C-alpha cells in the first residue's frame, strides 16, 4: 500500500490506472477506522481494480465548538487496517494544500441539506459537499462508497454528484452495528461503558418505530412520537430530533403512502457526544 | 465532426480518448460563434489531440429580464465554423438533462464574484460556475479555453477549478477585436450601425487609461475617471462601471504599486444592449 499526500500525485496515479483500463474506487474517511469502514473498503475491493482510501479530518464540516480538535486519531492502526484489507492507496492530503490561502469556493445543495442534521449543523453539508467534490477530483474514482449511517450525507452527495455530472457512481453500504445494535462510529470512543449501554436506545427506538410501521402505522407524528418516547425512557439521552421522512426527497407528509420508502432518523446528545442513527423501511 | 447530445455519451467518448493516451480540450460556448470563438478553438486544436466545443445557452446565468429568450442562435453556421476548424465533437446538451427536476446544487465562489459584473448581475457567476463544473464533468477535458473578454468569468473559473481540484488546465486566450477595436461578441448582432460606431468608445477608453498608466498614473480614482469621462463623451453610452483593480485579487487600493498587474474593466449599456470589455496592464 502506498501513502500519497499530494493532490497532483494522487491525480496522476489515478489517471495512470484508468489509462490502463482499470477501475478505481474511493472510500472517503476521517480515519479512526472501525469495522464499518472495513466493510466499505471490502465493498470497494469487490467492485473495482484499485482502491483508494482517503483519510482527512475535514475542518470545514465542523462548526465552532464541535469536536474537530479532539476528533480521534490512530494513524498506525488505520494503516494496519487498510493494509490488511488490501487497499492500494492511502490518500492523506495536507490541510494547507486542501484549503490554501484565498480558498473561496463552495458546493451548496439546497433543500435536502437544510433539514435534520442541517438544521442543527447549518454549515456542515456545505463543508461535506465541497470536500467530497475535492476528493472526487483528486482521486478521480469510478465509484465511491459511503456508509448508510450518515444517511442525509449520502443523499446530499448523491444529489450534487448527479446535479454537477461527476462521473462517479455512489454506493451506499449498510450500517455496521455492535451485537447490541449500537451503530459503529469513530465517535463511540467518546462514550463511557454506561453511555455505550444507554446508546443502544437509538437502535431500539428505530426498531420500535419500524415494528409499528410494519403493523400498519402511517401517521408521521405517531411514528416520530414512538421514537421520541422510547429515547426519553433513558434519562441521560437528550434527543435532538427523531423524524420519519420520504427516503429520497425528505418530504414530511402527515401520512405516508402504501409502498413509500421512508427513512427514520435519530440524533441525540449523550453527555457531550452527538450520536446519529437511521433505518430505511418500505411501507407495507 | 460528431454532434453529441447526451451527457453520458459525452463522458464515455472522452474517457475512451483519454484511455488511448490522447489529451482532450474543451471550448465552452453559448453558440453564435464569431472569430473570437474561432481563435479559442484553434488554440485548443494546437494544444490537445481532441477538441470538444460545447454549445449551450445556459439559462441559470441569465437573470429575469436579461436576454436569455432572445440570445442569438445560428446552428448551421456554428456547425460550419466548427467543422472547418477541425473540431472533433460538438457537444449540445439538452436543458432538461442539464437541469432535471429536483436539480438543487450550486457552485459558489465568494469574494471575486461579488464585485463588478457580480454587483449588477448577482446570480450570474453562480450560474456560470455550476455550468462550467458540469461541462468539465461531462467532457472531462485536460484543458479548457476561455476568452479574456469575460475577464471576471475567467477569474471565477480559475478559482473554483483550483479550489475544487478539477484536473483541468484553464487557458485564457486574448480578446479578438474588429479593426476599429470593438471586442467581438455574439451580442454585437444587437447593435445598429451607429451603435457599432459608438461602441468603439469602450476600447478607446481602455486605451486612454492604459496610456495614462504608462505615463506614470497610479491613482485608482484618476484612472477610473479617465475611463468614465471618455465613455461619457458619447451620449448614447450609459456606463455601468469603469474600474481598475488588481488583476488577480480584484483588490482596489487607492494607489497601485510599481510592477502590479492590474485589469481595467468597463461595462456599459448602449440602448438595451450590455457591452463589456477589459485590458490587463502591468504598471511600469
Residue A163 contacts B where some CB pair is shorter than 8 Å? yes
Query: What pairs with residue B246 in β-bridges?
Result: B262
Each domain of chain B, given as residue ranges in start order, spans 2-173, 186-277
**What residues have CB less than 8 Å from A274, skipping those under 6 apart?**
A187, A240, A267, A268
Grid cell locating A211: 415494528
Among chain A residues, the shortest Cα distance to B109 is held by A105
pLDDT of A164 reads: 98
Residue B137 with chain A: CB contacts under 8 Å: 164-167
Query: Count of A–B CB contacts within 8 Å?
Result: 87
Distance CA B48, CA B51 (A): 7
Element (DSSP H or E) covering residue B251: none
Confidence of residue A49 (pLDDT cuts 50, 70, 90): very high
Q: What is the mean pLDDT of residues B112-140?
A: 96
For A87, residues 6+ apart whose C-beta sits below 8 A from its C-beta are A1, A27, A41, A45, A51, A52, A53
pLDDT at residue A7 in the model: 98
pLDDT at position B72, please?
Answer: 94
- In this prediction, residue B76 carries a pLDDT of 97
- How does pLDDT run across B271-282, given as a tens digit for each residue? 999 999 999 999
Distance CA B31, CA A246 (A): 41
Residue B104 to residue A18, Cβ atoms within 8 A: no
Q: What percent of the residues of chain B are helix, what percent strand, and what percent coil, each to the nearest 5?
A: 40, 25, 35
pLDDT tens digit string along B75-99? 999 999 999 999 999 999 999 999 9
Q: Do residues A172 and A204 touch, judged by C-beta distance below 8 A?
A: no
Tell me the pLDDT band of A9, cut-offs 50, 70 and 90.
Answer: very high
Stretch 60-119 of chain B: residues touching chain A, C-beta under 8 Å: 102-112
When pLDDT is averaged across residues A97-126 and rounded to a whole number, the result is 95
Confidence of residue B136 (pLDDT cuts 50, 70, 90): very high
Closest-CA distance, B140 to chain A, in angstroms, reads 9
All residues of chain A having their beta carbon less than 8 Å from the beta carbon of residue B109 are 104-105
The correct answer on CATH 3.40.50.720 for the domain covering B2-173 is no
Q: B269: closest CA among B127, B120, B128, B154?
A: B120
User: Cell for B66?
Assistant: 436579461
Question: Among B108, B134, B137, whose Cβ lies nearest the Cβ of A108?
Answer: B108
Pull the grid cell for residue B261.
498587474
Three-class SS state of A196: helix
Residues of chain A with pLDDT > 70, as a percent, come to 100
**What are the backbone angles phi and psi of residue A123, rounded to the nearest 5°?**
-100, -5
Among the partner-chain residues B112, B129, B134, the one whose CB lies closest to the CB of A165 is B134
Confidence of residue A137 (pLDDT cuts 50, 70, 90): very high
Q: End-to-end alpha-carbon separation of chain B, Å?
A: 47
The 10s digit of each residue's pLDDT in A190-218 is 999 999 999 999 999 999 999 999 999 99
User: Which pLDDT value is given to residue A208?
Assistant: 98
Are A110 and B104 in contact (CB < 8 Å)?
yes
Quote the ipTM score: 0.95
**Distance between CA atoms of residues B9 and B23, nearest Å:** 18
Confidence of residue B253 (pLDDT cuts 50, 70, 90): very high
With pLDDT > 90 as the criterion, what percentage of chain B qualifies?
A: 98
Provide the pLDDT for residue A284: 93
Residue A5: partners with Cβ closer than 8 Å, 6 or more residues away: A91, A92, A93, A94
CA distance A194 to A185: 17
pLDDT tens-digit map of A112-130: 999 999 999 999 999 999 9
State mean pLDDT over A118-144: 96
pTM across the whole model: 0.96
Residue ranges with strand state E in B38-187: 50-55, 89-91, 105-109, 143-147, 169-173
Query: DSSP for A200-248?
Result: THHHHHHHHHHHHHHTT--BHHHHHHHHHHHHHTSTTEEEEEEEEEETT
Between helices A7-19 and A124-139, what is the axis angle to 10°?
A: 50
Summarised one tens digit per residue, pLDDT across range B206-247 is: 999 999 999 999 999 999 999 999 999 999 999 999 999 999
CA-closest candidate to residue A175, choices A167, A185, A165: A185
CB contact under 8 A, B137 and A165: yes
Instruction: Place B259 in a pLDDT band, splitting at 50, 70 and 90.
Output: very high
B138: contact with A, CB 8 A cutoff? yes
Distant-in-sequence, close-in-space partners of A64: CB < 8 Å, separation ≥ 6: none
Predicted pLDDT of residue B239 = 98
**Distance between CA atoms of residues A173 and A143, nearest Å:** 12
DSSP states along A19-69: HTT--EEEEEE-S---HHHHHHHHHHHHH-SEEEEEE---GGGSPTTSSTT
Q: Give the domain A186-277 fold.
A: 3.30.1300
Which residue from B90, B93, B32, B25 is spatially nearest to B59, judged by alpha carbons? B93
So which residues of B are the catalytic ones?
A: 37
Instruction: Output the pLDDT for position A3.
Output: 98
Confidence band, pLDDT 50/70/90 cuts, at residue A183: very high
The mean of the pLDDT values for chain A is 97
Amino acid at each position: 500500500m502506498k501513502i500519497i499526500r499530494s493532490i497532483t500525485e494522487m491525480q496522476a496515479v489515478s489517471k495512470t490506472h484508468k489509462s490502463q483500463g482499470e477501475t478505481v474506487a474511493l472510500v472517503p474517511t476521517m480515519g479512526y477506522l472501525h469495522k464499518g469502514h472495513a466493510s466499505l473498503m471490502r465493498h470497494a475491493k469487490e467492485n473495482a481494480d484499485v482502491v483508494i482510501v482517503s483519510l482527512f479530518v475535514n475542518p470545514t464540516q465542523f462548526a465552532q465548538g464541535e469536536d474537530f480538535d479532539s476528533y480521534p486519531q490512530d494513524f498506525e492502526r488505520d494503516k494496519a487496517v487498510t493494509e490488511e484489507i488490501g487497499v492500494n492507496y492511502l490518500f492523506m492530503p495536507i490541510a494547507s494544500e486542501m484549503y490554501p490561502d484565498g480558498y473561496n469556493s463552495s458546493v451548496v445543495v439546497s433543500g435536502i441539506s437544510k433539514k435534520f442534521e442541517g438544521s442543527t449543523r447549518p454549515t456542515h453539508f456545505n463543508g461535506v459537499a465541497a470536500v467530497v467534490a475535492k476528493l472526487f477530483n483528486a482521486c478521480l474514482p469510478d465509484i465511491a462508497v459511503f456508509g448508510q449511517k450518515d444517511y442525509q450525507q449520502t443523499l446530499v452527495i448523491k444529489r450534487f454528484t448527479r446535479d454537477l455530472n461527476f462521473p462517479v457512481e455512489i454506493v451506499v453500504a449498510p450500517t455496521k452495528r455492535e451485537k447490541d445494535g449500537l451503530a459503529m462510529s469513530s465517535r463511540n470512543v467518546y462514550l463511557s461503558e454506561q453511555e455505550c449501554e444507554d446508546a443502544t436506545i437509538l437502535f431500539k427506538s428505530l426498531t420500535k418505530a419500524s415494528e409499528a410501521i410494519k403493523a400498519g402505522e402511517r401517521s408521521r407524528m405517531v411514528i416520530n412520537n414512538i421514537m421520541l418516547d422510547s429515547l426519553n425512557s433513558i434519562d441521560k439521552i437528550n434527543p435532538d430530533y427523531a423524524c420519519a421522512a420520504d427516503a429520497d426527497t425528505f418530504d414530511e407528509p402527515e401520512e405516508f403512502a402504501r409502498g413509500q420508502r421512508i427513512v427514520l432518523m435519530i440524533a441525540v446528545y449523550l453527555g457531550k457526544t452527538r450520536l446519529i442513527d437511521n433505518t430505511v423501511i418500505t411501507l407495507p
